[in-house]
Amino acid sequence: MTDFFSYLLQLGGLGESGEFDPSNPLMYIYIISLATIPLFMMYGQRMQGKIVLGEISKSLVKLKGMRDNARLATIEYVKISLPQSTDPAAKIDKFLEYFTIMPVDIDPSGLVRKLGHVMRTKDERMRQEVRKICPGVSDYEASKIENMLEAASALNMIYKVVRHFYLMGKRTTSVYVLVQLQMVMPILLEEADALKKAIGTFQKGQPIGDGIGPMVVGKMMLGREKKYAAKETVYAQGEHKGRTLYFLKAEGPAGTVGRPGEAIQRLAGDLGIKLDAIIMIDAALKLEGERTGDVAEGIGAAIGGIGVEKYQIEEVATDYDIPVYAVIVKQSILDAITVMRKEIADSFDKVTETVHAVIEDKTREGQSVMVIGVGNTMGVAQ
């Protein structure tokens, strides 16, 4: 024992005489602090796991609250819309559990076509289910319920995935699973919060940040004859400084994104409209530090989603050698799916000016341009 203490003294250089001094309290602190090292070596990971588990558990409770509130808000809204109907809770719960199986991608040839087919089937099925839940409501009301259900469904999915990894981490006591979950948790909570707020916006039928494209094009379409372009998508013809303009957007004020890809295939392909340029206006996710409502101009198909619509537009543009220009309005994910912020609405004039500048700069008199307002047109007519 004395050997051990002398060894410690040698290590720490304690005690001027070089001997163990039991009256010195620092000596005991020193011994205890050294003893904690093997303790942390053996149990450190387990302790870290417990702390992480506690933090994830708190976030999981938050997510559960958001999921339950979203579900309740949707049920209440359906009940208010259809006071005579039976309790829709069971049907809505069934809807929240719907899933989509993506097509096989080991043979990528023709994948987008298959993907398009799956997504169309999903959309149609969703619409049918909404009609079953609330028969007899107007298209506008049905689109509001559909958007609310989609947000509630996304929240349900986030909650279930987080719960899965939480329980898996707890069962396997794997700190690595838990730490990975803890790292992505702030982003997941931010997305969940955006979805939660989006439900209130859809319920009131207010335009969302993503609707800036349809809002700009909707103004250009005012007073012109609106024709069918594709399902839930309309187009109109106009003129600007000697150029023929075709305006395309989802049919508002219902909450839909329309089918711009199919529409452009029909207009340029089937109807044989010769286009010299395509200009797409869309909301784009801003990087941290960028200002909401900033307008930027670029090249390429500005459209989000799974990629089917983008592919269709790019196919038409490539087949007919049409340059595609993009005008985007920057915003965060929260701004994009909640009520349109004033900063985004204020960018309206700048977007219109930019579109006109692109038309004048990139095309000559006598040429034709397609202007597409991409995004969810909730609360925006034309």
Partner 1 sequence: MFWSKKPEPKPTIYAEETCSSCGERARRPFEERDHVYEHGGSCKKCNSSTMITAVYGEYPPEKT
Q: What are phi and psi of 294, to 5 degrees?
A: -70, 140
- Contact between 207 and partner 1 per CB under 8 A: yes
- Contact between 255 and partner 1 per CB under 8 A: no
User: Strand runs (DSSP E) across 62-134, as ranges?
Assistant: none
- Contact between 206 and partner 1 per CB under 8 A: yes
- Contact between 340 and partner 1 per CB under 8 A: yes
- Contact between 215 and partner 1 per CB under 8 A: yes
- The number of angstroms, rounded, from the C-alpha of 145 to the middle of its chain's C-alpha atoms is 18
Peptide bond into 253 cis (omega under 30): yes
Candidates 261, 283, 341, 358; binder of partner 1 (CB under 8 A) is 341
178 or 220: whose CB is closer to partner 1? 220
Distance CA 91, CA 131 (A): 11
108 or 223: whose CB is closer to partner 1? 223
- Contact between 218 and partner 1 per CB under 8 A: yes
Residue 340 Cβ vs partner 1, minimum distance, rounded to whole Å: 5
- Contact between 260 and partner 1 per CB under 8 A: no
Distance CA 281, CA 219 (A): 13
Q: Cβ distance 333 to 195 under 8 Å?
A: no
Q: What are phi and psi of 58, to 5 degrees?
A: -65, -45
Residue 80 Cβ vs partner 1, minimum distance, rounded to whole Å: 12
Task: Give the count of beta carbons closer than 10 Å to the beta carbon of residue 356.
Answer: 16
Distance CA 382, CA 269 (A): 25
Candidates 332, 338, 354, 363; binder of partner 1 (CB under 8 A) is 338
158 or 380: whose CB is closer to partner 1? 380
Per-residue binding string, partner 1, 158-197, x by CB under 8 A, is: ----------------------------------------
- Contact between 368 and partner 1 per CB under 8 A: no
- Contact between 222 and partner 1 per CB under 8 A: yes
Taking each helix axis from N to C terminus, what angle separates 175-204 and 139-172, rounded to the nearest 10 degrees?
170
Helix (H, G, I), strand (E, B) or coil at 208: strand
Task: Give the count of beta carbons closer than 10 Å to the beta carbon of residue 65.
Answer: 13
Distance CA 245, CA 220 (A): 10
Candidates 88, 213, 252, 373; binder of partner 1 (CB under 8 A) is 252
233 or 265: whose CB is closer to partner 1? 233
Q: Cβ distance 248 to 229 under 8 Å?
A: yes
Q: Which structure tokens are listed for 191?
A: 């997305």
Total number of residues binding partner 1 (CB under 8 A)?
Answer: 22
Candidates 117, 125, 204, 241; binder of partner 1 (CB under 8 A) is 204
Candidates 345, 356, 367, 368; binder of partner 1 (CB under 8 A) is 345
Q: Binding residues for partner 1, per CB under 8 A?
A: 204-207, 215, 218-219, 222, 252-253, 338-342, 344-345, 348, 379-382
